[in-house]
Amino acid sequence: MRIQQLEYLEKIVETGSINEAAKQLFISQPSLSQAMKEMEKEYKIQLFYRTKLGITLTNEGREFINYSRGILDQVNLLDERFGKTTTRKHIFSVSGQHYAFVVHAFVELVKKIGQDEYQFTLRETQTQNVLDDIQTFKSELGLNDL
Amino acid sequence: MRIQQLEYLEKIVETGSINEAAKQLFISQPSLSQAMKEMEKEYKIQLFYRTKLGITLTNEGREFINYSRGILDQVNLLDERFGKTTTRKHIFSVSGQHYAFVVHAFVELVKKIGQDEYQFTLRETQTQNVLDDIQTFKSELGLNDL
DNA sequence: GCGCGTTACGGGCGCCGTAAGGATG
DNA sequence: CATCCTTACGGCGCCCGTAACGCGC
């Protein structure tokens, strides 16, 4: 079992959907699905009922995530004490309209640079908001189709 | 950070030596050394003072291992609840005199079979004890140079 | 057909082992 | 020179991404 898998699980429960969780975790949906399968196999339990409207936890799954949170809480304590997040990160933010190529390029950038030194933010909004974000220095980069 | 790395750290502290810990963990000493370096780099801390007589924890290292134990305790709770150890494992034990080739073959076996279904034990002792172990069914296999 | 999750498969990175190096008693 | 740890380097396994599939609305 990897700590990462537990974090994945948390996100899935939070969103109620493997698809949505995968987007927020910046990984592909099959990878996430497989990661959960691995844990289910490792502990020989079933975590979710898979339905067409996302997923719901089984009773075992509910119990499992309680233990999982105990672990993640301890991990967070360690990370906070030993400066995983204490060092102020540089910020790089992009505001733009919703286009697949924007999201894709942004994800690729995040993966290439890594999140050790930078805090990345992508804001998907409307034309005028993009202009405002740039004018107020809320984002470093704006994309419009004007 | 991997849970495995924390378990490695525990063993090193327990034995006071990277060399000895590596033997007990069935991994090579450089691998273990590298695993600790990775954590030190990840959190930008120094865990040990490396001396010729093994290692000793730094103050930061002492604090780190306290957090580490908090995590491992939670992990153990989960493992115990979800049957990592509950299913009784088959036992395969070997008693023999201390020979490098015996240790090597044993380790290779453990790696090949895996520790999911079997509980492996290697007893290194003297000729008579080997005979006793076999006679009392304490071990399944004995090796002597008679 | 669209949206959800799964299965199949190839590639790249990371962990481990072997070998060689450095330091200290 | 013996012991302990580190550095260098190659291989294999594992995780992820792309692609194709199954299934229900």
In the predicted model, is pLDDT for residue A96 greater than 60?
A: yes
Residue type, B107: V
DSSP string, B78-101: HHHHTTSS-SPPEEEEEEE---HH
User: B68 to chain A nearest CA, in Å?
Assistant: 7
**Distance between CA B11 and CA B7 in Å, rounded?**
6
CA nearest neighbour of A47 among A71, A30, A63: A63
State whether B1 and A3 contact (CB < 8 Å). yes
State whether B67 and A84 contact (CB < 8 Å). no
Please state whether strand C lies within 7 Å of residue B42 at its CB atom. Answer: no
pLDDT tens readout for residues A99-115 = 877 888 887 777 777 76
Across chain B, mean pLDDT equals 86
Specify the pairing of strand B54-57 against strand B141-143. unpaired
Taking CA–CA distances from A84, the nearest residue in chain B reads B43
Which value, in Å, is the radius of gyration of the alpha carbons in chain B?
18
Predicted TM-score (pTM) above 0.85: no
Residue type, A77: L
**Distance between CA B140 and CA A108 in Å, rounded?**
56
Please state whether strand D lies within 7 Å of residue A49 at its CB atom. Answer: no
**Distance between CA B59 and CA B44 in Å, rounded?**
14
Largest pairwise CA distance in chain A: 55
Q: Six-digit token pair at B52?
A: 């010729």
Chain A residues whose CB is inside 8 A of the B67 CB are 74, 77-78, 81-82
**Distance between CA B51 and CA B44 in Å, rounded?**
20
CA to C1' distance (Å), from B7 to C22 = 28
Which value, in Å, is the radius of gyration of the alpha carbons in chain A?
18
In b/e form, how buried is each residue of A37-69, taking b as 16+ CB within 10 angstroms? eebbeebeeebbeeeeebbebeebbeebbebbe
DSSP 8-state code for residue A28: -
Neighbouring C-alpha atoms within 13 Å toward the C-beta of B133: 23
Which domains are assigned to chain A? Answer: 1-83 (1.10.10.10), 89-146 (3.40.190.10)
pLDDT band at A128 (very low <50, low <70, confident <90, very high): confident
Put residue B96 in one of left, alpha, beta given phi > 0 → left and psi -120 to 50 → alpha. Answer: beta
pLDDT tens readout for residues B13-48 = 989 999 999 999 989 999 999 999 999 999 999 999
**Distance between CA A133 and CA A144 in Å, rounded?**
12
Digit-by-digit pLDDT tens for chain B (146 residues) are 999 999 999 999 989 999 999 999 989 999 999 999 999 999 999 999 988 888 999 999 999 999 999 999 999 999 989 977 545 567 788 898 888 788 888 887 877 777 766 778 888 888 888 888 787 677 888 988 86
